[in-house]
Structure 1
Amino acid sequence: MIYIYYSYLSAENHESILKNNLLHFSEEYQHKIKRFRRWQDAQLSLLGRVLLFNGMKELGLSYPRDQKIHYTRYNKPYFEDHVIQFNISHSGEIVVCAITDATEIGIDIEIITDVAIDDFKIQMTENEWNKISNSNDQKNAFFEYWTQKEAVIKAHGHGLTIPLQSFEIIDNQTQIQGEKFYLKEIKIDEKYKCTISSKTTMNAIMLKNIC
């Protein structure tokens, strides 16, 4: 089972979100949050942590909130002594967090905005680019592929050291260096595209807003 938790930003509740949650985390993380200049950036980061630890608590996993989150050399977060796998993404006004103990996962969410799609042609394979170019809704097609590719490289764990053009998404599947990855669209908000990727098929996914 993969559990996906999400939350929206709230300007109205920003101070209460900080007051009710920030002190539960390590002093190092508190200082990091306080250094953000924009309240939106501070809340996005904090909500990611809140979703992670609230989700783990809901799943019956007792873990202190000041537990240190480590990062691989490719900047993938993990707990040093826990089998749980997780990944966090945010865009616009939404934060998502995926949690599982079954497989390595990656999740990506992007707000659908006006972008110069042609600037990203180099990141797509020829077949992917043709499908985007020939789509009746090029913007939607682009963000679908973009979140798929981002989710895959996050699940793989080596980040942008893997060129996006080096693998092709076909029928919600792809391979990187002989490893197979599966993808699934997560529908949260019509203004966003969200995709999750894992090394195993995803038959059971639970989506929940817990903040």
Structure 2
Amino acid sequence: MIYIYYSYLSKENHESLLKNDLPKFPLDYQEKIKRYRRWQDAQLSLLGRILLFNGIEEIYKQNPHDKVIKHTKYSKPYFDNDLIRFNISHSGDIVVCALSDKHEIGIDVEIVTEIEIDEFKSQMTEIERNNVMLSSNIKDSFFDYWTQKEAVIKAHGNGLSIPLKSFEILDNTTKIDDEKYYLKELKIDKKYKCYISLKMDISEISIKKHIINPII
């Protein structure tokens, strides 16, 4: 089972989050949040941590505050000696968190905005670029491509050390180093594109969405 949690920024709840939720986390993380200049950036980071810990409590009936988040050399967060895998993404006003206790997982969300396709030419294969340019909705098609690629490299774990142009998405699948990755779109919000990726056919997995909004 893959679990998806998501929430939106809330300015009216920001002080409440800082007062009631932030103190639950380690001091170094509290200091990191307080260093943000924009409340939006601070809350996006904090909401990701809240979603993750709420998921661990609700799904796995464990105390998340007993766990220590570490990072690989590619900056992918993980729990040491733990079967719970997770991935967090945010864009615009939304934060998403995916959890699984069986598979490494990647999730990416992107707000659909106006873009100049030519600026991303070096990040796309010729086939991908042609597919985007010939689509009926170029903007939507581009963000499908971009979000899929980001989800895959997050599932892989090596992040942007893997050039986006080095692998190609075809029918919601791709390969990196002979490892196959599957993708599935999550229709959370019509203003955003969101995909999850992992190394098994996602059509065989039930996805449970949890909405945590507003947080009081």
In structure 1, how many angstroms separate the alpha carbons of the residues matched to 2:46 and 2:65? 12
Q: Is the 8 A contact 1:34 1:42 kept in 2?
A: yes
- Name which of 202, 208, 211 aligns with 1:209: 211
In structure 2, how many angstroms separate the alpha carbons of the residues matched to 1:117 and 1:191? 19
2:182 maps to amino acid: Y
Deviates more, 1:180-189 or 1:117-126: 117-126
Q: 1:122 to 1:136 in 2, by over 3 A?
A: same
Quote the residue 1:77 is aligned against.
77
Quote the residue 1:119 is aligned against.
119
Could you list the structure 1 runs, at least 4 aligned residues long, displaced by more than 6 angstroms after superposition: none
Q: Is the 8 A contact 2:105 2:155 kept in 1?
A: yes
Q: What pairs with 1:40-51 in structure 2 (closer than 5 Å)?
A: 40-51=40-51
In structure 2, how many angstroms separate the alpha carbons of the residues matched to 1:193 and 1:75? 23
Quote the residue 2:133 is aligned against.
133
Q: Is the 8 A contact 1:88 1:95 kept in 2?
A: yes
Kindly provide the CA deviation profile for residues 76-96 of structure 1, in whole angstroms up to 9, marking residues without a partner as x: 100002110000000000000
Q: How many residues align?
A: 211
Kindly provide the CA deviation profile for residues 58-106 of structure 1, in whole angstroms up to 9, marking residues without a partner as x: 1133134363210000011000021100000000000000000111100
Q: Is the 8 A contact 2:57 2:64 kept in 1?
A: no
Kindly provide the CA deviation profile for residues 113-132 of structure 1, in whole angstroms up to 9, marking residues without a partner as x: 11112111111111111010
Corresponding residue SS for 1:12: helix
Q: Is the 8 A contact 1:172 1:183 kept in 2?
A: yes
Q: Is the 8 A contact 1:26 1:67 kept in 2?
A: no
Deviates more, 1:131-140 or 1:66-75: 66-75
Q: Is the 8 A contact 1:88 1:107 kept in 2?
A: yes
**What is the root-mean-square deviation of aligned Cα atoms in Å?**
1.0
Q: Is the 8 A contact 1:106 1:153 kept in 2?
A: yes
What runs of 5+ residues in structure 1 fail to find an aligned partner? none
Kindly provide the CA deviation profile for residues 42-73 of structure 1, in whole angstroms up to 9, marking residues without a partner as x: 00000000000001101133134363210000
Q: TM-score, normalised by structure 1?
A: 0.97
| Identity level (%) | 64
Q: Is the 8 A contact 2:90 2:110 kept in 1?
A: yes
Question: How many Å apart are 1:18 and its aligned residue?
Answer: 1.4
Question: How many Å apart are 1:181 and its aligned residue?
Answer: 0.1
Quote the residue 2:34 is aligned against.
34
Are 2:171 and 1:171 aligned? yes
What runs of 5+ residues in structure 2 fail to find an aligned partner? none
Q: Is the 8 A contact 2:109 2:147 kept in 1?
A: yes
In structure 1, how many angstroms separate the alpha carbons of the residues matched to 2:87 and 2:156? 12
Quote the residue 1:142 is aligned against.
142
Q: Is the 8 A contact 2:110 2:147 kept in 1?
A: yes
In structure 1, how many angstroms separate the alpha carbons of the residues matched to 2:116 and 2:66? 41
Q: Is the 8 A contact 1:182 1:197 kept in 2?
A: yes
